[in-house]
């Protein structure tokens, strides 16, 4: 029964959190050298099993490409390790002796890690590494459709960590995940931070939990081919990026915007790179497969090849087809080609002018991609700078593959499998998340500036007197005075009133 499965899952989660908390309390005493040794061992162990984990992920989820998932595992392990290995995360991390201020790092405690089905092993490795680097414990809730490969990755990380000296239980997981257990994990009293990667509902739940949370959601990424671009190179990059792991990275290009005066050349190059352009009837057939209900993506197409998706729509395409493209002029939830598709499918929009191109890009971003990423191909640095200033995104990839450029594989951005969308996307950060996001910093500051605190003035005293009513003052005078005969309160009131006028 589902009820019994929920109970088992919740109990497993509670046990894992308890063990992680106990382990994290021990881990607090570890030095920077001990922590760094553990992190290095885990990264190496995960990288050694990179291909095996990639095969498991494709087999279990039915999504993506083995070779590409291996690359993502390598980024999540070795690239991430290289980016954080010299970072100070224990004890005193910064000191300015001139200003007499010192910064000390301390961990959040126990983290709840939510893993998406699109990146089930690379995200697990990545989050485990940055948690270990910062002396946090972490408990994972894998996606039910990817639980075997995610748990396999986590076991590799935990075993390597323990062999390197980490306490048992520092990494935990739910092996039979349910929505009830995941929800309770995010609300558990001993969870101190949530690291959630997934759909809008999951991210919303993380931010509504009452816990500090890093939640990152979808990215409906436009790619603009500007008139000065090297069209041949740009198109090749776009096709390679869109077909990388069959579009399962959230930073993958989702819609093409091309200047009219270079469109014909671009279309020819797309065809040279295996793109299949749909006619109106084929487009209508594919629309029903992309989104059976307005605004809802069909999960059956996520991470699938162009040929397989065409087959689902009853469209016959060449066996070497790389991507499916259709002409589009509309953008909206009821326009299937304009939503995030997480698969090798593109709409192509024609920009009549530079301003029109910017308008199209913003409209596409407004449809589920606000704050995430934008891809641009241009040789005009002014255009690139204007886009960087004006576009509501957290990262702008120029003349590179957006999918893997955003995660740091082809750019100098911080290697990460969790990409913040900033306030544009309702996130607390716009960064590529890394170890530094999982520590708190306390500061010790010596006094360095002499100040003279002024004494209250007569005006302040008078102002305070005004705050009392005449009646109150009279009563205070009468209660404290030693009088020899009867006193008329009205006379006293008049005397006090006159006195206050003189003070003013």
* For the chain, counts of helices (H) and of strands (E): 19, 15
* Separation between Cα atoms, residue 54 and residue 316, nearest integer Å: 30
- Residue 324 makes CB contacts below 8 A (sequence gap 6+) with 275, 276, 278, 286, 306, 309, 310, 317, 344, 345, 346
Q: Can you give the pLDDT at residue 466?
A: 57
Q: Is 250 a catalytic residue?
A: yes
* Separation between Cα atoms, residue 251 and residue 139, nearest integer Å: 26
Q: Can you give the pLDDT at residue 478?
A: 63
* Separation between Cα atoms, residue 10 and residue 13, nearest integer Å: 5
CB atoms near residue 296 (< 10 Å)? 12
Q: Which residues pair with 441 in a beta bridge?
A: 105
Q: Which of 149, 250, 361, 421 is catalytic?
A: 250
Cα dihedral sign, 428-432-433-437: negative
Where b means 16+ CB within 10 Å and e means fewer, 121-144 reads bbbbbbbbbbbbbbbbbbbbbbbe
SS (H, E, C) 96-165: ECCCCEEEEEEECCEEEEECCCCCCCHHHHHHHHHHHHCCCEEEEECCHHHHHHHHHHHHHHHHHHHHCC
pLDDT (tens place) for every residue of the chain, 504 residues total = 556 888 999 999 999 999 999 999 999 999 999 999 999 999 999 999 999 999 999 999 999 999 999 999 999 999 999 999 999 999 999 999 999 999 999 999 999 999 999 999 999 999 999 999 999 999 999 999 999 999 999 999 999 999 999 999 999 999 999 999 999 999 999 999 999 987 777 888 888 899 999 988 778 999 999 999 999 999 999 999 999 999 999 999 999 999 999 999 999 999 999 999 999 999 999 999 999 988 899 999 999 999 999 999 999 999 999 999 999 999 999 999 999 999 999 999 999 999 999 999 999 999 989 999 999 999 999 999 999 999 999 999 999 999 999 999 999 999 999 999 999 988 889 999 999 999 999 999 999 999 999 988 876 555 555 555 666 666 666 666 655 566 666 766 776 666 666 555
In this structure, what token pair is assigned to residue 504?
A: 């003013």
Helix (H, G, I), strand (E, B) or coil at 247: helix
CA distances, 68 to each of 64, 193, 250, 491 (Å): 8, 30, 14, 96
Q: Is residue 73 within 8 Å of 54, Cβ to Cβ?
A: yes
DSSP string, 374-389: EEEE-S-HHHHHHHHH
Cα dihedral sign, 261-263-264-268: positive
Q: Is residue 425 within 8 Å of 370, Cβ to Cβ?
A: yes
Whats the size of the chain, residue-wise? 504
β-strands 253-259, 345-351: how paired?
parallel
* Separation between Cα atoms, residue 189 and residue 464, nearest integer Å: 48
């Amino acid at each position: 029964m589902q009820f019994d499965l929920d109970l088992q899952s919740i109990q497993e989660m509670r046990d894992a959190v308890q063990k992680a908390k106990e382990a994290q309390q021990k881990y607090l005493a570890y030095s920077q050298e001990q922590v760094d040794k553990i992190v290095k061992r885990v990264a190496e162990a995960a990288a050694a099993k990179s291909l095996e984990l990639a095969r498991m992920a494709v087999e279990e989820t039915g999504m993506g490409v083995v070779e590409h998932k291996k690359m993502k595992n390598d980024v999540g392990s070795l690239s991430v390790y290289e980016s954080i290995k010299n970072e100070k995360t224990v004890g005193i991390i910064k000191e300015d002796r001139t200003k007499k201020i010192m910064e000390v790092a301390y961990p959040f405690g126990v983290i709840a890690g939510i893993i998406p089905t699109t990146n089930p092993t690379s995200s697990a490795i990545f989050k485990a590494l940055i948690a270990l680097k910062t002396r946090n414990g972490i408990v994972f809730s894998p996606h039910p459709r990817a639980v075997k490969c995610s748990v396999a990755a986590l076991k590799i990380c935990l075993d390597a960590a323990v062999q390197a000296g980490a306490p048992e239980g520092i990494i935990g997981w739910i092996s039979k995940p349910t929505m009830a257990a995941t929800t309770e994990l995010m609300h558990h009293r001993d969870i101190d931070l949530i690291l959630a990667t997934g759909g809008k509902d999951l991210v919303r739940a993380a931010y509504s939990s009452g816990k500090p949370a890093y939640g990152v959601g979808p990215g409906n990424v436009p790619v603009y081919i500007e008139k000065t671009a090297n069209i041949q190179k740009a198109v090749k990059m776009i096709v390679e990026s869109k077909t990388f792991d069959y579009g399962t990275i959230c930073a993958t290009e989702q819609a093409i915007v091309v200047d009219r005066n270079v469109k014909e050349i671009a279309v020819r190059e797309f065809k040279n790179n295996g793109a299949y352009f749909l006619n109106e009837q084929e487009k209508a057939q594919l629309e029903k497969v992309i989104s059976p209900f307005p605004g809802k993506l069909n999960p059956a197409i996520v991470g699938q090849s162009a040929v397989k998706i065409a087959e689902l729509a009853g469209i016959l395409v060449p066996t070497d087809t790389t991507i499916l493209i259709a002409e589009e002029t509309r953008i909206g939830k009821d326009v299937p080609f304009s939503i995030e598709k997480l698969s090798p499918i593109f709409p192509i929009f024609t920009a009549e002018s530079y301003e029109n191109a910017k308008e199209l890009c913003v409209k596409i971003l407004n449809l589920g991609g606000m704050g995430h990423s934008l891809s641009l191909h241009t040789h005009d640095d002014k255009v690139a700078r204007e886009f960087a200033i004006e576009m509501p995104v957290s990262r702008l990839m120029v003349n590179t593959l957006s999918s893997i450029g955003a995660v740091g594989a082809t750019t100098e951005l911080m290697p990460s499998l969790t990409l913040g969308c900033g306030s544009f996307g309702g996130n607390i950060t716009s960064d590529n998340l890394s170890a530094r996001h999982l520590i708190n910093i306390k500061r010790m500051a010596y006094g360095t500036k002499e100040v003279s605190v002024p004494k209250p003035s007569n005006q302040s005293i008078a102002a305070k007197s005004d705050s009392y009513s005449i009646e109150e003052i009279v009563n205070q005078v009468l209660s404290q005075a030693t009088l020899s005969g009867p006193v008329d309160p009205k006379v006293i009131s008049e005397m006090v009133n006159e006195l206050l006028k003189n003070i003013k």
